[in-house]
Amino acid sequence: MGSIPTRSTKNKIMILVLNADYTPLTIMKLDRAFRLVYKGKAEIISTKGDTISTDKVDYDRPSVIRLLKYVYFPYKKVTLSRFNIYRRDDYKCLYCGSKDSLTLDHIIPRSKGGKNSWTNLATCCMKCNITKGDRFLEETGMVLTQKPFIPSYLFFLHKMNKLNEDWKKYLIKTDNEKTR
Ligand SMILES: [Zn+2]
């Protein structure tokens, strides 16, 4: 039998990975994160639920791990994608707040030179998208409830902490450091 659990439902579980100095580094799938622990490159900081059995020893399933050696890691840029724009905008139309039939709106229409960019793309419901059509925002009387921004990687990490109570202290700590 293999020593490390690989293909299983556990693959859907995401783990918070801290740098050696406890700053949040990334989020990765359980099997990848566990491999780091198994190889002695990381330690388990926080656990959740079941155990992972290996040929050596049983581990409590990690929720947060910490790399033992500091790695220099320039924060990844968040990929511009439909999914990430929805996430940034909380899956809500930035014009009317609807959560139904979402699509993306080019604030400056593509036909008028509008780019595919974080600041020119907004989550939008079909209805508002059709209403706005190919016009500039000023021509429509429609108003953005939130100015589209370029999200940082930590922004998404922070969003995820709603789901993971035990990630909070690491993510919040980083936020405090940022505002100092
Ligand atoms: Zn709308």
Is residue 1 scored above 70 in pLDDT? no
3-state secondary structure 24-85: EEEEEEHHHHHHHHHCCCEEEEEEEEEEEECCCCEEEEEEEEEECCCCCCCCCCCCCCHHHH
In the prediction, which pLDDT does 174 show? 42
CATH code of 87's domain = 1.10.30.50
The residues whose Cβ lies within 5 A of ligand 1, an ion, are: 93, 95-96, 98, 125, 128
What pLDDT shows up at residue 53?
A: 84
Do 28 and 49 fall into the same domain? yes
Inside any domain, residue 148: no
Distance 93 CA to ligand 1 centre (A): 5
Q: Do 130 and 109 meet the contact criterion of CB atoms below 8 Å apart?
A: no
Expressed in angstroms and rounded, the spacing between residue 139 Cα and the centre of ligand 1 is 16
DSSP 176: H
Residues 69 and 86 in one domain: no
Task: Return the DSSP state at 126.
Answer: H
Place of tokens 């491999």: 35
Mean pLDDT calculated for residue range 41-67:
89
Kindly state whether residue 2 falls inside one of the protein's structural domains. no
Q: What is the pTM of this model?
A: 0.58
In a domain, 4, yes or no: no
Q: Is the pLDDT of residue 8 over 90?
A: no
The rounded Å distance from CA 92 to ligand 1 centre is: 8
Residue 128, domain extent: 82-139
Considering the domain boundaries, does residue 53 fall inside one? yes
- Cα–Cα dist 167/63, whole Å: 8
Range from 9-23, 29-43, 132-146, 159-173 carrying the lowest mean pLDDT: 159-173
Contacts of 32 by beta carbon, 8 Å cutoff, 6+ apart? none
Q: Which residues contact 165 (CB under 8 A, 6 or more apart)?
A: none
Ligand 1 center–CA 89 separation, angstroms = 12
Q: Could you tell me if residue 163 is inside a domain?
A: yes
Distance from residue 48's CA to the centre of ligand 1 (Å): 39
- Ligand 1 center from residue 133 Cα (angstroms): 12
Question: For the ranges 27-36, 68-77, 111-120, 133-142, which has the lowest average pLDDT?
Answer: 68-77
125 Cα–ligand 1 center, Å:
4
Task: State the distance from the centre of ligand 1 to the C-alpha of 85, rounded, in angstroms.
Answer: 15
Question: What distance in angstroms lies between residue 110's CA and the mean position of ligand 1's atoms?
Answer: 19
Q: Is the dihedral of CA 99, 101, 103, 109 positive or negative?
A: negative
In a shared domain, residues 18 and 56: yes
147 in any annotated domain? no
User: What confidence category does residue 58 fall into, taking pLDDT thresholds of 50, 70 and 90?
Assistant: confident
66 & 98 share domain: no
Does residue 24 belong to any structural domain of this protein? yes
Rounded (10°) angle between helices 168-179 and 153-160:
140
Give the number of domains in the chain.
2
Regarding whether 50 and 87 lie in a shared domain, the answer is: no
Question: Which residue is associated with the tokens 């566990």?
Answer: 34
Indicate the pLDDT class of residue 156, thresholds 50, 70 and 90: confident
